[in-house]
Each structure stands twice: as structure tokens, then as C-alpha cells.
Amino acid sequence: MTLEDRYGLPLSTSSHEAASAYREGVDLMLAGWTGTAETLERAIATDPDFALPHIARGRVHAFYQQGDLARGKAALARELVAKRGTERERSHVETLALAIEGRLPDAIAAMRKHVEAWPRDALVLSLPLGAFGLFAFSGMADHDRARHELCESVARHYGEDWWFLTMSGWAMTENGDVARGRAVTERGFNLRRQNAHAAHAVLHAMFEDGSIEAADRLVDEWIPGYGRDGILHGHIRWHQALGALEHDDAARALAIYADVLQPAATKAPPLNLVTDAASLLWRLTIYGHTVPQAVWREAAAAAQELFPKSSLSFADVHMALFAAATQNHQALAARLAVIEQRLAEGKLPAGAVVPAICRALAAFAEEDYGTCVRILTPVLTEVARIGGSHAQRELIEDTYIVALMRGGELPRARALLDARLHRRPSLRDKRWQAAMA
């Protein structure tokens, strides 16, 4: 009897134990749950020549920026699948390997071809989805729409699958269909509560529709069952900190930072560590709260060790936050020089918006609000190119609005706030409006 994965796709192993462990490991990965790596290692130990657990394990290594280990697993999986693997498995391994190697255009092309042939290969379909997926980091300005359209194109193949509902619902939310997106995501969440990606996607919908108290309750009720070493544990608490800032509760936001987000406490992957810390501390600062310089310096030093060189544009923007806040002009100048060189060579997918944001942040930190506004005005519609979610990218618009207010351009600030409040309720935006009345 041919063994299959949970989606009915044949597996090239005759070991029931290996197939079972692989199915469980993939589900844990798709749920962002603890135990993923250990379960995949069990599949590998049971059948060392079974390629799929190796490439899946490489994907987990890549999440944690363990590049050598990830690439080693990819190379081994390619060798194994060439000896013993189906056409689908060879394509599966190659597509994930390209993603692990950071070859985004090739990985996207391979993913599209693979999904067309095997739409129920969820692990491959997961590659372009989410705020840190291939589409988000491709430099596309319309990656939110692209994710939604991709999910719509394969929805008939998944039905009420808990993972697919989670990701397709979140894609709807990010693409502006918040009410429908929240309902779909909550369906997936209710099918499998031990699903960190679903909890996270529901929090994004709640952010967009202004359900701050409901989001806070959700985290309080759900997070005790999710281990602190879970890949999204810190980031889910980051969402709770954003909710605290909606209520102008800086003390609570800083307490959450100290508990799970600061470098000494977090167990998050490097990209989450850097972006969650930088964005929360920057928000606290521009909203008028005091963040001790020692806190900034500690986080900046940890970030510099993790991202010493220009890499993903999303990371570069957050490294610019650290440099601006700590007045590290040398670090920012060095990173900007590399970014500009990559732009000139056509190797910066997100384009000119990246150096513009970095320079605008530096100007804001220097209290040169006019320059910050001047630099950001022509690129605000391009910010989506850096990747991430709408909730994460809103930091740039917040910086712009505060720069307008502090620079005395109140009519422009009011107009932006009116537009935002029309799109979604925000207690903070209402406070800003009242302050300008």
C-alpha cells in the first residue's frame, strides 16, 4: 500500500513510522507549533533515505537563520530524492531548496509551476503566503493581492482544511476584505486551536477592525497553552503590546517587551527578534513615551550581530530604526552605502523606497521633521514593497503623521488620520485628532 501525506499525496517511504512522523511534523510546521524540528528528526531517523523530512527540516533551520544547516539539508534532500522519489517529490524538494537558498525569483517560478500541477501540496503552497513569505519579500507592491488571488485559485482543492482557512483568511484580511477574512480565519482556528498561525491571523483581523479588547482577551486565554519556544510566541505578545499602546499604556507595552521580546528573553527567530523589538521601541518613542537608551543599545547590539550586513529590505528598515534611535550614524551610513549599491546594480527587489525610508527615519531621529516628510511623501504608496504585514508597515505611516504634526503641517496630518479612521477604528488616531483640534 502506498503511504500518503495528509493531503493524499504519495510518499516515497515504506515506513509507516516515518510517514506518520513526517505528516505530524508538517502539520506542526503549518501550525507554527512546538516540536516541529524534533518530530521531523524522528522521521529522518526512522527512514534516513526519505528526502521530504530532510527538506522540511531545512526549512525550519532557515526560519532560525541557520543558513549552513539549512543549505546542507537542501543539498542532501536533492541527492536523496534523485535516487528515490516521485516527480512530485523532486519538484517539492527543488522548490523548497530554492527558497532556502534565497533565490526568490526562481523559487516563486518553481512554486507556481508546482502548485499548478499539485495544488494540494500545502508545504509548497505555504512558501509565498504570510507576511514573511516569498511574495512579501519579492519586492512586489501588490503582494497582499497576489496572496489572496493565489489562495482563491486553489480554494476548491482544500475545502474546510484548517491550515488553508487560516492562510486564505489572513490573505483576505491583508488585501482589505477584513470582515470576510476574519470569519474565514476563525473557522480555521476553531478547527485546530493548537495553531499559532491561526491565532496570529485572527489578531491581524482584530487589529484591522479595531477589536483591541477582544484581541487582548484572545492572547490572555490562548497563550498559556503555547510554549515560549514557539516560533510565534513573542510576536503574538507583540500584538498584545500594540493593543496596550492603543490605550496609551506604555508601562504594559514595556513589560511585555521585557518579558518576551528583549534579546535576553526572547526565543524568537532572528528576523522576528529584530523587527518586533525595533518596531515596538520606535512606536513607544514616537508616541511620546520614554525608552531608556540602555534598552535601545542592548537591542541594537543584538540586532547588529544577527544582521551585520544588508540583506532583506524588511530587516534593513528595522536596522535603520536601531541606528536612528541610537544615533549610530556610522552604522546607518555603511548599510545605506550597500543598499544604494544593490539598487544601482538592480539587486534590490523592493527598490528606491528602502533607502528613502532609512534616510527619513534618520531625519526624524534628528528632529528634522520637514526632511522626514519630504523624503517619505513620494514613496508612501511604495512602502508595501519592503514586505511584512500591514500592521508592521503602519509604523512608517505613523512616523510620517507624527513628523507632520511636529512640523506644524496639521491639515495634512488631519487628512491622513481621517482616511485611516475611515478604514479602521483606532483609539490612538482619535487621541491625535483631539490633540490637533
Q: What is the mean pLDDT of residues 180-190?
A: 98
The CA distance from 233 to 268, in Å, is 7
What integer pLDDT is reported at residue 389 of this predicted model?
96
- Kindly tell me the sign of the dihedral angle through the C-alpha atoms of 359, 362, 364, 366: negative
Q: Give residue for cell 498561525.
A: 197
Other C-beta atoms within 10 Å of 186: how many? 17
pLDDT digit string (tens) for 313-347?
999 999 999 999 999 999 999 999 999 999 999 99
User: Could you tell me which CATH class the domain 1-127 is placed in?
Assistant: mainly alpha
Q: Under a CB-based contact definition with an 8 Å cutoff, are residues 138 and 109 in contact?
A: no
The CA distance from 430 to 424, in Å, is 11
Do the two domains 1-127 and 130-226 of this chain adopt the same fold? yes
Residue type, 188: G
Q: What's the gap between Cα 60 and its chain centre?
A: 15
Q: What's the gap between Cα 246 and its chain centre?
A: 21
Q: How confident is the model at residue 36 (pLDDT cuts 50, 70, 90)?
A: very high
Q: Which residue has the higher pLDDT, 424 or 293?
A: 293
Q: What is the mean pLDDT of residues 80-93?
A: 97
pLDDT digit string (tens) for 340-359?
999 999 999 999 999 999 99
The CA distance from 403 to 419, in Å, is 17
Hey, where are the domains in the chain? Answer: 1-127, 130-226, 269-437
Mean pLDDT value across the chain = 97
Q: Give residue for cell 523592493.
A: 350
N- to C-terminal Cα distance for the chain?
A: 73
Q: Which residues contact 150 (CB under 8 A, 6 or more apart)?
A: 115, 125, 128, 129, 135, 171
| pTM summary value | 0.96
Q: Where are the strands (E) in 155-275, listed by range?
A: none
Q: What is the mean pLDDT of residues 166-193?
A: 98
What integer pLDDT is reported at residue 311 of this predicted model?
87
> How many degrees, rounded to 5, is the angle at CA 401 between CA 413 and CA 174?
110
- Measuring CA to CA, how many Å separate 125 from each of 78, 200, 326, 377, 434? 19, 19, 40, 36, 45
- Kindly tell me the sign of the dihedral angle through the C-alpha atoms of 362, 364, 370, 376: positive
Architecture (CATH level 2) of domain 130-226: Alpha Horseshoe (1.25)
Q: What is the mean pLDDT of residues 186-194?
A: 98
